[in-house]
Structure 1
Amino acid sequence: MPELPEVQALAERMTEACAGRAVERLDVLSVQVLKTFDPPPQALHGRGVTGVGRHGKFLDLATGDGPHLVMHLARAGWVHRRASFPAKPPGRRGPLALRLVLDDGSGFDVTEQGTTKRLAAYVVADPARVPGVARLGPDALALTPERLAALAAGARQRLKTFLTDQAALAGVGNAYSDEILHRARLSPYALAASLGEEQLTALHAAVRAVLGEALEHARAVPADGLKTEKRAGLAVHGRAGETCPVCGDTVRSVNFADSSLQYCPTCQTGGRTLADRRLSRLLT
């Protein structure tokens, strides 16, 4: 799933591609992707694009005197830059969900792979009208140590859940939460409210470092390679059975119904292994 670094890099590249351009048309090619009806997609037609921003993991294409196109790419969505499009309109099958054509003939295809369709698009006068945007917590890259301490103190959640809760902290997903906890040397099952001052300091530093490094990496990678190149910079996520680059222990995994987490026992749990079931606790 694209997270804050990839979405931010994508927003910057889309802004550059849209500079001085207006929307020619928005083709909705998957009926379930558009979650709003007023204003209609045609309200974007002819509007000048002022830039593409980000709210957590949401993209926000803004027009100066019209509505916004807000998109959440979910697990398998992506945006592809196109210099031009075929003359024949695309069919309504396959991974193509949206096509945004600019007034110079260039634009973007928004695709979603797989059979589970969660990609969502909204045409709104104000991004705050998108439910997922309205509930976002502070942006992870703008988080101060004091704000993090206050959020953690009020959270009745394990650290893994706390970091990926978009209402608590916007922008961090499954992959970078694993990386942040590994960098901070904290167990994913530690309670957020139980962290001491040194642990909170380590967690804040890890959030800033992991996301900052990933963003710089994403900015240097071609857009179509962002998703595949993301894994190259990960120390533990997606690397169960491999060697921890810090201590040499074996990276372990806990699997749930539709997700998993990876961690290093030596670096994060005092050498203890987490039981591989949904309600697991540290084995004694």
Structure 2
Amino acid sequence: MPEMPEVQGLTRFLDERTAGRTVERATVASIAALKTYDPPIHALHGAAITGARRLGKFVVLSFGEELHLVFHLAKAGWLRWYETLPTTLIKPGKSPIALRVALDDGSGFDLTEAGTKKSLAVYVVRDLADVPGIARLGPDPLDDGFTRDVFAGLLIDRRMQIKGLLRDQAVIAGIGNAYSDEILHAARMSPYAIAGKLDDEEVDRLYAAIHATLTDAVTAASGKPPADLKDAKRRGMQVHARRGEACPVCGDTVRSVFFADRSLEYCPTCQTGGKVLADRRLSRLLK
């Protein structure tokens, strides 16, 4: 799943390529992906893009102050950029393409989604607050206002496991499964630690790990075209998706815990005092 660093890199790329360009047409190939009907998708035709930005894991293409194309790539979505957009017709249900946007200089992009579980979401709105996921976003961890004290305040009386809290978009925006693994490894903290029970030193470590991990990942993604962002993400991972490999810090074997629809990776020596966590494949602990 694309998370904040990849979405930030994607947004910067789109801002550089599309600002000032006009949409010639926007074609919906998967009607299930389009979550809004007013304004209609054809309201984008002939509209000039004024900029792109990121909100959490959402990409926002703005057309002035009162019209926005918003999309969330979900678990298996991605963006394909073309300097020259293909002229072949899109056959709904016959390709992974959910949306095609053609620009006035011949360039454009497709939003695609692999697999059978379709979660990619596209919105055309006048007000960004009309997108439910944006309306409930928590603070962005790389904003200047996200201080150590602000972060500590988010943990007070929270009885949930820290892994789940980091992934909760209503608490902190933009962190998903992969980077929560990386942050917890950098902070030398168990994914099962209870958020509201962390002491001051643990809060300090975790806050520093959030900032350092995400800053490094955003820097690594900066300037890369969409086609290279996924590989850049994989190369930067220390434990996530590296089950069975050696921890780059201590050399212990990276372990996994599997859940219904995801897994987490961790290093026992670095994070759990050497304890190997039970593999609870049907656990609902990390909602």
Q: TM-score, normalised by structure 2?
A: 0.95
Per the TM alignment, residue 279 of structure 1 is displaced from its structure 2 partner at its CA by: 4.2
Residues 221 and 48 from structure 1, CA distance in 2 versus in 1: closer, same or farther, beyond 3 angstroms?
A: closer
Question: Is residue 241 of structure 1 aligned with residue 244 of structure 2?
Answer: yes
CA separation in 2, counterparts of 1:42 and 1:114?
A: 27
Aligned to 1:20: 20
CA separation in 1, counterparts of 2:60 and 2:163?
A: 27
Higher RCO by CA contacts (8 Å cutoff, separation 6 or greater)? 2
SS in 2 for 1:25: strand
CA separation in 2, counterparts of 1:231 and 1:130?
A: 30
CA separation in 1, counterparts of 2:153 and 2:53?
A: 27
CA separation in 1, counterparts of 2:20 and 2:202?
A: 47
CA separation in 2, counterparts of 1:254 and 1:29?
A: 37
Taking only the aligned residue pairs, the percentage that are identical comes to 56
Matches within 5 A, 1:205-244: 205-244=208-247
Selected match of 1:147 from 130, 150, 168: 150
Unaligned residue ranges in structure 1 (runs of 5+):
none
Residues 17 and 220 from structure 1, CA distance in 2 versus in 1: closer, same or farther, beyond 3 angstroms?
A: closer
CA separation in 2, counterparts of 1:214 and 1:87?
A: 35
Aligned to 2:266: 263
User: Which portions of structure 1, spanning 4 or more consecutive aligned residues, are displaced by more than 6 angstroms?
Assistant: none
Deviations 1:124-148 (A, max 9, x none): 0011110111111001212210111
SS in 2 for 1:140: coil
Q: TM-score, normalised by structure 1?
A: 0.96
- Bigger drift between 220-229 and 75-84 goes to 220-229
Aligned to 1:132: 133
Deviations 1:65-103 (A, max 9, x none): 641011000011111111122334221121111001111
Deviations 1:137-165 (A, max 9, x none): 00121221011100011422101000000
CA separation in 2, counterparts of 1:105 and 1:39?
A: 25
SS in 2 for 1:32: helix
Residues 65 and 204 from structure 1, CA distance in 2 versus in 1: closer, same or farther, beyond 3 angstroms?
A: closer
Question: Is residue 182 of structure 1 aligned with residue 185 of structure 2?
Answer: yes
CA separation in 2, counterparts of 1:196 and 1:100?
A: 49
Aligned to 1:98: 99
**Mapped contact 2:61–2:68 kept (Cα < 8 A):** yes
Amino acid in structure 2 at the alignment position of 1:21: R
SS in 2 for 1:71: strand
Amino acid in structure 2 at the alignment position of 1:38: D
Unaligned residue ranges in structure 2 (runs of 5+):
none
